[in-house]
Structure 1
Amino acid sequence: MNPITASLQAPVVLDGAMGTELEKRGVKTNDALWSANALLTDPEAIYAVHASYFQAGATIAITDTYQANVAAFAKLGITHARALELIKLGVQLAQRARDDVQPNGLVAGCVGPYGAYLANGAEYTGAYKLSPAEYDDFHAEKIQTLLADGVDLLSVDTIPNFAEVQALTTMLAEQSQLVPTWISLSIKDPQTLSDGTPLATVVEWLDHAQAVSGIGINCTGFANVLPAVQLIRAHSEKPIVVYPNPGDVYDPVTKTWIAVAHSQTFADVVPEWLAAGANIIGGCCRTTPADIEQIAKLLKK
């Protein structure tokens, strides 16, 4: 077993939201590039966010490349070569923060879904359909770029569409050199992928995919996490990754988040997630370094 894969069996602290923290630093995020805007306008803000999460106790940083892809940059007139440089910059900023703050930390190269490129909230619905070859054209070069720049892991995030899951696992299996990789799902509810596929069907597929080291859910509310973790664990012994949002609601028209009153904190729920079998825990949109510090303290216990 890869030593990094082995390390993911023990409770591990993941980082939290990138876009939320960039907004606090004045970076524009309410457009098609979302947090990837900072790769163009304020790379040092990305470094600062990564450093803040490592300082809070995170062991793994996810690169600011969720929405960074060649097709999205091309819409802005950015050349293919420059787009690949920007993806590499996302890796390098996370690596520099890791080296400066937490030398034993890991950097996970972030791969977002095709739905994120659409910039219409489709990562929460899965309402799109591409052929396997089209998914390959969209994802393969970015994955190869992340791998070439030395990421320790791949974090394939917020995948809402079973056909995309299948295409990604096939593509990953074809890579000549691959790092430990989790695929994290966007779910409609604890039993259902966002596109309507039974979650058990997706988990069973991922459990049999040799290129997949872990199975996750992210950017869903706290209430969905425990039953989803229980379902995943019933169908797989692979490490389980959870990084929810606090329950706020995304508006795809304004491309902003609507705050919702939260009755629970990570301190209230992380112990039961661990007991149910979660291995890697962090936060997604709208979470902060304070949340990650809270998780880190719980996992140290």
Structure 2
Amino acid sequence: MRSIALLDGGLGQEIYRRASSVSSPLWSVAVMLEQPDIVTAVHADFIRAGARTLTLNTYAATPTRLRRQGVYEQMGAIHRQAFQALEQAIDVTGVAVDIAGCLAPLVGSYQAQPDRSFEDLRNEYATLVELQASADVFLIETMSNSLEARAACAAVQGLGKPFGVAFRLEADGRLRSGETLSEAVAAVKPHAPTAVLLNCCDPDLVSASMPELVELYPCVGGYANAFKSVEPMASGGSVDELEAREDISPEAYATQVRQWLADGARVIGGCCEITPAHIGHMAGVLANEFEFIRFSQLSDQCR
């Protein structure tokens, strides 16, 4: 039976959706500061659905974003609270899972090449790595340019822990920076990530690009979103302006994921608007064909 790493779904969006009274540029981090029990409940629901690698709720907790919102001094406390929320969910469910540190775009999602040096970006990511150093693995997510991706890789690889790099593709199959998928993979390949992934883009786009990605790197995967469009947020708006696609049901998403697996994906999960119901259905329909493992176990499987 083939082994695949099963990630959780759209953690931040699921948290934000359940806390309808909270509206903030800090997204699910703001919810955690006011209603931490919601974060624990979402983690627990993803674990019960079958996820075996759970990401910390720190996507928006970068130094740049926290400083911009005037809460930089709370950065350490925020990261400690994110660990506590996930650890409580693990205790409640009694399931052995990986805790994944989250290295997200430093300024915001869906942006092109940042006007910053490699060293500057690496230093900020190093701060995040230090705050999340006790995580089992790391996921570098929603990368829209290779400069930020390389900086994150350089910051985390010294820990010697498994890590993945996930790129966000636009409708033309390129990164928002204009780089091709091949160029992006080549840029991070010297850092030897455990896996190279596609995330936070349309499921159809992941399906279209997966065969190429399989040819570019030994261990790959994907976790798509179910937004109608991210352009309102990419243009400076807030997550409140984004709309979910009603046609991406758990059944429809599982059909797409099955195609990724047929093409050679070894890591699957979901991004924004992919709920515990999506992950649970996917785990159920695939259980007779695949063994679900933690991301940290991939190294032995992808040689």
Calculate the TM-score normalised by the size of structure 1: 0.86
Higher RCO (C-alpha 8 Å, min separation 6): 2
Cα deviation, residue 206, structure 1: 2.6
SS of the equivalent of 1:124 reads: coil
Does the 8 Å contact 2:16/2:31 carry over to 1? Answer: no
Would you say 1:272 and 2:269 are equivalent positions? no
Cα deviation, residue 69, structure 1: 2.1
One-letter identity of the residue aligned with 2:152:
L
One-letter identity of the residue aligned with 1:268:
T
In the alignment, the residues of structure 2 paired with residue 16 and residue 146 of structure 1 have an alpha-carbon distance, to the nearest angstrom, of 20
Deviations 1:155-174 (A, max 9, x none): 1110111111222222333x
% identity of equivalent residues: 24
In structure 2, the partner of 1:145 is 131
Does the 8 Å contact 1:186/1:193 carry over to 2? Answer: yes
In structure 1, the partner of 2:216 is 235
In structure 1, the partner of 2:197 is 216
Deviations 1:174-212 (A, max 9, x none): x2x3321001111114741221101101112333323x1
Q: Structure 1 residue aligned with 2:178, among 196, 202, 207?
A: 196
Would you say 1:157 and 2:137 are equivalent positions? no
Q: Structure 1 residues 142 and 180 mapped into 2: Cα distance closer, same or farther (>3 Å)?
A: same
Cα deviation, residue 115, structure 1: 3.6
Would you say 1:248 and 2:228 are equivalent positions? yes
Does the 8 Å contact 1:27/1:38 carry over to 2? Answer: no
In the alignment, the residues of structure 2 paired with residue 162 and residue 28 of structure 1 have an alpha-carbon distance, to the nearest angstrom, of 36
Gapped runs of 5+ residues in structure 2? Answer: 289-303
One-letter identity of the residue aligned with 2:139:
S
In the alignment, the residues of structure 2 paired with residue 28 and residue 178 of structure 1 have an alpha-carbon distance, to the nearest angstrom, of 40
In structure 2, the partner of 1:178 is 160
Calculate the TM-score normalised by the size of structure 2: 0.85
In the alignment, the residues of structure 2 paired with residue 193 and residue 78 of structure 1 have an alpha-carbon distance, to the nearest angstrom, of 31
In structure 2, the partner of 1:89 is 81
One-letter identity of the residue aligned with 1:273:
W
Would you say 1:53 and 2:46 are equivalent positions? yes
SS of the equivalent of 2:15 reads: helix
Q: Structure 1 residue aligned with 2:119, among 100, 114, 133?
A: 133
Would you say 1:43 and 2:15 are equivalent positions? no
Cα deviation, residue 135, structure 1: 0.3
- Of residues 94-103 and 52-61 in structure 1, the stretch that sits farther from structure 2 once superposed is 94-103
Gapped runs of 5+ residues in structure 1? Answer: 1-8, 117-122
One-letter identity of the residue aligned with 2:225:
N
Q: Cα RMSD between the aligned structures?
A: 2.1
Deviations 1:19-63 (A, max 9, x none): 332234325564320111122111111000000111111111111
SS of the equivalent of 1:51 reads: helix
Q: Structure 1 residues 33 and 254 mapped into 2: Cα distance closer, same or farther (>3 Å)?
A: closer
In structure 1, the partner of 2:293 is none
In structure 2, the partner of 1:283 is 270
In the alignment, the residues of structure 2 paired with residue 298 and residue 279 of structure 1 have an alpha-carbon distance, to the nearest angstrom, of 16
One-letter identity of the residue aligned with 2:282:
I
Cα deviation, residue 296, structure 1: 0.8
Q: How many residues align?
A: 280
